[in-house]
Amino acid sequence: MRAAMAERIWQTIKRNKTLQYGVPMLLLIIGGSFGLREFTQIRYDAHKRHGKIDPALEEKIKKNKVSLESEYEKLKDAKLDDWKNIRGPRPWEDSKSLQDKQQ
């Protein structure tokens, strides 16, 4: 009797398109979101662990701070008007002879 009842339920499930295709699709979507959450959490935990640097290196970086203003002062005095555009060699050209001609 139990086997017959289980067989009848199984036949009903096989005939019903919602139970055959819809429920597995919903399980895949919902289960996938939980799975992706776990994988992304692993990524963020690994980044947090590897993101820490040595305190001595951190002090060295803070001491050797380069600002935008200091780089501007270096470039302000450079002469940028008298440069020459030199193209690179084509694959079929000899690079050494072309460089010698251009210099």
Question: Which pLDDT tens digit goes with each residue over 32-74?
Answer: 999 899 888 988 888 777 767 778 877 887 787 778 888 888 8
Closest Cα partner for 87 from 76, 102, 77?
A: 102
pTM, to two decimals: 0.37
- pLDDT for position 32: 92
CA distance 44 to 54: 20
pLDDT tens for residues 64-77?
A: 777 888 888 888 88
